[in-house]
Amino acid sequence: MRSYWFGVIATYLHLIAMATYVGGSLIMELVVGHAQKSIPPAQAQVMGEKTADRFLLLAWSALGLLLVSGIMQAYAKSVEPMLMGDGLFDSGYGWSLFLMIALWAVLVVNGSIMTFVLRPRLKGKMGAQVGAAQVQARQGHLMKTVRQMQWITRADLVIALLVPLAGAGLLHGNGLFTTGVLAPLGLG
């Protein structure tokens, strides 16, 4: 175990990043999204756009902080060789760490799709001289994009609920696969 304060600060930053991503996603879905339905569609669209823009920034910051504070935690616990794959699959702790990193990577991929592919599609505007068929096609395209975003958001929520499960195993023991709920898998 390395410096006490280094470990505490690493855990603190990790918890804040996790709360921002996990709690933030849930509150955006359950509270902000719910309130959005209570105002007229034009204002709801503005509210959705502004809150989503800001939350996206917050979510990316949280994913970055999760990575940095996760590496700091590995150093604090002197298990940093595992981050290079050294003995990663030899213990329940290593398996849990691998699970967390894998889930984090999925969140980054999903976030990239949302930020760089789907959201720009929603922001594109049509020219004034377009026909009804083009408007209809554009609306269909927008609806499809919104549905894809909803699916990714839901998948992210499920993953975001799984990440703290792996984290709790690491913080309070030797990981999920030895003493936690996944112990029957026998990967310890």
Partner 1 sequence: MAAYVVMLAWSVYLGGALVMELVWRPAQEHLPMSQIGVACQVMGRRYRWLALAMLAVIAATGLALLPGRGPGTLTLSTGYGRTVAALVGCWVLLVALVVGMAFAAHPALHARGATELTPEARAASRAGVGRAIRRMDALLRVELVVALAATLLGASLPSGGML
Q: By CB under 8 A, name the binding residues for partner 1.
A: 1, 4, 7-9, 11-12, 14-16, 18-28, 30-32, 34-36, 38-40, 43, 46-47, 50-51, 54-55, 58, 161, 164-165, 167-169, 171-172, 181
CB nearer partner 1, residue 20 or residue 178: 20
Q: What CA–CA distance (Å, rounded) separates 93 from 169?
A: 8
Q: Min. distance of Cβ 120 from partner 1 in angstroms? A: 20
- Identify which of residues 57 and 117 has a Cβ nearer to partner 1 in the complex: 57
Helix axes 4-18, 41-76, angle to 10 degrees: 160
Which of residues 72 and 187 has its CB atom nearest to partner 1 in the complex? 72
Tokens representing residue 85 in the block = 């794959």
Contact (Cβ atoms closer than 8 angstroms) between residue 7 and residue 76? yes
For partner 1, give the closer residue by CB, 54 or 147.
54
Q: Least distance from C-beta 186 to partner 1, angstroms?
A: 19
Shortest reach from residue 116's CB to partner 1, in Å: 21
DSSP letters of 60-115?
HHHHHHHHHHHHHHHHHTT-GGGGGTTTTTSSHHHHHHHHHHHHHHHHHHHHHHII
